[in-house]
Amino acid sequence: MGWFHPRGSAPRPAVSILAKDDGRPAGAGVLLPRQHLLTCAHVVNSALGKDMLAPDHPGSVTVSVRIHGPEHTVEADAELTAWIPPRRDDGGLGAFEWNGDLAVLRLAGALPSAFEPPRWHPMARRQFVRAWHGSGEPGVFADAEVSECDGRFGYFDGAERTLDIEPAYSGGPLWSNEESAVVGLVTAKLRVRGELRRAWGIPWQRVARELRHAGVDHLLPRPDEDVRDHPLYGELTALLDGPLSLSEGWVRCCRAVARQCGLDHRADGAPSADEFARLLLTRGRALPALVEAVRPTSEPIADDLLALGRRHGLPKLLTPGEYERLLRQLRALPPASAAGVPGAVRAALSLAALPGALLAGFGGGARGVDGNGDSGPFEALIAHLEGLYGDSAPTGDGRLAVPALLRAVEFVAAGCCPTAAERAELWAWSAAVARRLGVHDAALRDRRHDAEQWARGASRGSAPPRVVAKLSSCGGAPVSDGEERYRLRLWCDDGDGLRQVSDDSERPRGAEEAAREILDAVGSLRRPDPAGPRFVIELVVDRDALEVPADSWKPAGAGALLPVPLGAPYPLVVNCPELRELNGEAMLDQWRERWARLDSEEPVHIDDVTAPDPEAVCGLLMERLTAHVTVDVAAHRRAGVVQMCLAAGVPVVLWDRSGQPGSPAVRHAAETRARELPEAIRRYRTKTLQRPADYPGRPVLAWADAGRALPRLDLVDPTE
């Protein structure tokens, strides 16, 4: 036995394969990586109520399984993904032997992080092994000694005063306490006369061969000897065999890693560099745990360990303790606060690839399947973010900047914690992890400032001040100068509600005069936070005026010294309630629900390939409650597609009125978060002023915030 060994000398988690008819254990199994299980094929047959040694493939079937972890038990369905049937017709077999007899099952969802697959080691003669009943009960085990092993079959004889191996043991692990590893699977009991209790199993050697031939060898954990082939092994052993292992605190570090990883250890001595390297390469959170233990003793060696992990892509960022504390704090968020987590993560990592499915399921169901530690959305989110280094490239002084996960936690703390105490708890967690990683305090403070600024902005309910302009054409032929004339009514909203500021709404005016009046209204607004977002100009138009080029209007008058178009100094968006109200209250409800999902739903892009006809457009819009759509279709289709989007209640729609194929404006905004689009489009318009050849697009952004009231647009005087 090595210095490290499993707590209780049992390969937890234990796996029970349950019979379909009565739910009792039909056999056992072993956990493999990536949500897979390994058992005997005859156990699956038995669970399905078939003849145990039937070789026929059962088809696309699922079986119920129960997985007993260190602290929690998970029940789930598992789908058959690889079938290696029992084979009696292979040459050289005795009357009680058969080849094959393996099955791989895949769980429907992820398991808690504590559920880690056991290590494997080749079976050899004279190993003492232990087998467990399929119930998974830790006290129901049988001890035996391997009496013969030829690499295909391993025979083991039961010890005196121990339980006998029965059918429900089949498919379960044969555990070697000396090797701290699984060396094979229990397969069958030899029923011969006499007092000898003999059974046989499939050794690791044949398990590996059979799964390799079945094309699923990528699921096999590395046996001990293969760890030496890992590109990190040599560097790790050299580092672990260096001056630190001779220091006074080295045993303390080793014990701390064992405690964090849920392992027992010998009372004397310390692990060899080889054994420690093997642990670090086979147990996901062991290296972060070692960094945490080493940091107070030797910062340079802690930094070296981190650098090795990054260079070789070891995916886990957090220690077991850090992971559990973060999960506990996130699960404690009230449902309404948890529902804001996707928006906070998107705000923190606006350029990261975050699948829509990853950010689904927050709120009411964010605590896991049944509250017993089962996998839920927080586990999946943490696992994904741990694999993103984000902006964690070393700074000029060699320190790390802030990893993606810590940046996301800062935004969650700032925007989703309902109390100051909960926010302070997440901040303390983030600061402790940053110290362990060697992140500079100033870098973390910068991210915290970013998060607090975002939390004060529009995405957390404090929308920017705005001028609402109801713009309508006067109709008829243009006047003598050829310019279109418009009626204009203006309201201001600086946080205290809408107030009308225009006096003569029915008087026709040209584009320049309208632009001047709108800018005058903006000038009358107060800006609560000078460092906050810019004022927004919101044009309320009818369906025929969606592409009125108001963003390019330049104000008239003696004071207009700068020829700046209306859409350059301020974000300018359009709003068309006429289209939204076409289909009655049901579609208005959809609009409100779509807006609520603005931060969690992935945007949809509509072009002539993805949606060649109106039916395809409708299908894309109705497939899910999309809140953000970009449109880049042929010019003759553009108005119809845009109006379909708005009539479906999509609150944010971006398109390009320039008519250029492959819209440069839409491409420019492709990586922009939905809530940042008004400002991003404003910046694009300023670049058009500077370099029109490089920025030829003419973007139009329809924006309908379901949380902000529109003015009543009926006439004030009933006699008019």
pLDDT band per the 50, 70, 90 thresholds, residue 528: low
Which of 312-316, 475-479, 523-527 holds the top average pLDDT?
Answer: 312-316
Residue 184 φ/ψ, nearest 5 degrees: 175, -175
pLDDT band per the 50, 70, 90 thresholds, residue 50: very high
pTM (2 d.p.): 0.54
Q: Give the pLDDT score at 717.
A: 40
**Burial 539-569, CB ≥16 within 10 A → b, else e:** bbbeeebbebebbbbebbeeeeeeeebbbbb
Q: What is the pLDDT of residues 148-204, one digit of tens each?
A: 999 999 999 887 777 878 888 999 999 988 777 899 999 988 765 555 678 999 999
| Average pLDDT, integer, range 37-65 | 94
| Average pLDDT, integer, range 701-719 | 70
Q: Specify burial of residue 453 (Cβ count, 10 A radius: 0-12, 13-18, 19+).
A: middle
Q: Give the pLDDT score at 173.
A: 94
Q: What is the pLDDT of residues 648-667, one digit of tens each?
A: 999 999 999 988 778 888 88
Please say whether the beta carbons of 646 and 653 come within 8 A. Answer: yes
| Average pLDDT, integer, range 576-599 | 85
pLDDT band per the 50, 70, 90 thresholds, residue 716: very low
Which residue has 């694999």 as its token pair?
387
Separation between Cα atoms, residue 119 and residue 99, nearest integer Å:
23
Which residues, other chains included, contact 332 with Cβ-Cβ below 8 Å and sequence gap of 6+? Answer: 422
| Average pLDDT, integer, range 222-226 | 55
Which of 104-113, 115-124, 310-319, 421-430 holds the top average pLDDT?
Answer: 421-430
Q: Specify burial of residue 356 (Cβ count, 10 A radius: 0-12, 13-18, 19+).
A: middle
Q: Give the pLDDT score at 710.
A: 85
Q: What percent of the chain has pLDDT over 90?
A: 37
Q: What is the pLDDT of residues 369-385, one digit of tens each?
A: 333 334 578 888 898 88
| Average pLDDT, integer, range 410-426 | 89
Which of 202-211, 282-291, 341-350 holds the top average pLDDT?
Answer: 202-211
User: Does residue 353 register a pLDDT over 70?
Assistant: no
Residue 341 φ/ψ, nearest 5 degrees: -60, -45
Encoded tokens for 1: 């036995």
| Average pLDDT, integer, range 578-591 | 85
Which residues, other chains included, contact 253 with Cβ-Cβ below 8 Å and sequence gap of 6+? Answer: 244, 290, 293, 294, 297
Encoded tokens for 107: 């769980």
